[in-house]
Amino acid sequence: MPVKGFKFSAVEAAVKKPGRLDLGLIFSEVPAVAAGVFTTNKVKAAPVVLGIERIKDGLCQAIVVNSGNANACTGIRGMDDARETSRLVAEGLGIADEVVQVASTGVIGQVLPMERLRAAVPKLVEGLESGSLDGVSRAIMTTDTFAKMEIRQCEAAGVPYTIAGIAKGAGMIMPNMATMLAFIVTDAAVEQSWLKKVFSESNDASFNIISVDGDTSTNDTSLILANGMAGNPTIREGTGDAETFRSQLQAVLLALAQQIVRDGEGATKFVEISIKGAQSVADAKKAAMAVANSSLVKTAFFGQDANWGRILAAVGYSGAEVDADRIELFFDDVQMVRNGVFTGGNAEEKGSEVLKRKEFAVTVDLKLGQGEATVYTSDLSYEYVKINADYRT
């Protein structure tokens, strides 16, 4: 499903090692209104520093991204390399340097092999005539085991438009945001200030409700470009078309976020954690994230051990208001806890059967109010340790 006015390219630059696509380019034929969300880590990679500055203008025409090297903790040299990469792409495309966004992912602390990037950029630009968004999605993978892409087709005032997104991420996944990159393109015409608002909200409702291992990266970048080439009347806040755009954008981002969790490093389980009955939404999210990030809970999921006590302990230290004598807990539809006490009988056996599934839900009802929150997480396996012990070799 094409996105009007956008072209894509991916090539091998041997950034870390040869034998795979590792340099991608997204190009809009016209300058697009743009918005971005970046890592909250105080140690920010050079491309993130550059991107935060450039996104202030609300315009972007190209995104160039490499995998295999994060260009993080590389000092002045790293900033120079990020700027040179941008300049090389801008010159190749014949556009202003300031409308190029640069992104990187991979090993921290190593300088980019600029001689390889310089050699690869002409091929990258040339490849726009035959490349695909899928190619870029594969070029940004690191420990990912599959490429992540999602597409929706919508209408505004009867005019069809498309929202398409790609993402990468499998480890160092936790708000805010995750060790991830996400690039969303749409040919819809969207008012820039509202796009910035709705994109931030959509990130909160997707990439900020997932966790694989509780780590936050130096390179997290989520960008959206809207070039208006579908020809629809500009979508503005407060209209029916705006609500359609919001819901479809959130659907794309949430689907990508869930793909990241399913591809968690070494993960064998996809788990939905839902907190109900909290005193507030903030309390519900605190409790949900505490459960999702608990290593003890996640290893119990991997071991298929219905250890509900670990879940209650995480809820208890989360900072949410809790009355231990009211809590109810379910694995899917199997009630494990009622009024803070194990339900007994064959609940242990039934609960363990639920945990043998590849996907299941954990629901905790605090019985204190109307606050609710849902987050998504994975288990923590032997393979996770192996992957990260060998990551740089």
Tokens at 272, concatenated: 């939905």
150 is in an annotated binding site: no
Q: Which of 239, 224, 240, 150 is nearest to 188 (CA)?
A: 224
8 Å CB contact between 142 and 106: yes
Q: Choose, from 179, 186, 218, 377, the residue flagged as catalytic.
A: 179
244 is in an annotated binding site: no
40 is catalytic: no
Beta bridge partners of 105: 67, 69
393 is in an annotated binding site: yes
66 is in an annotated binding site: no
Tokens at 390, concatenated: 């060998």
Q: How far apart are CA 178 and CA 41, in angstroms?
A: 10
Respond yes or no on whether the N-terminal peptide bond of residue 176 is cis (omega within 30° of 0).
yes
41 is in an annotated binding site: no
The answer to whether the Cα torsion of 76, 82, 87, 88 is positive or negative is positive
234 is in an annotated binding site: no
Q: How far apart are CA 187 and CA 382, in angstroms?
A: 43
Q: What is the DSSP letter of 100?
A: E
Q: How far apart are CA 382 and CA 73, in angstroms?
A: 29
Q: How far apart are CA 33 and CA 191, in angstroms?
A: 8
Q: Residues of 372-389 as b/e, b for ≥16 C-beta within 10 angstroms? A: bbbbbbbbbbeebeeebe
Q: Which residues are annotated as a binding site for substrate?
A: 142, 168, 179, 265, 388, 393
By annotation, the residues acting in catalysis are 179
Residues contributing to the annotated binding site: 142, 168, 179, 265, 388, 393
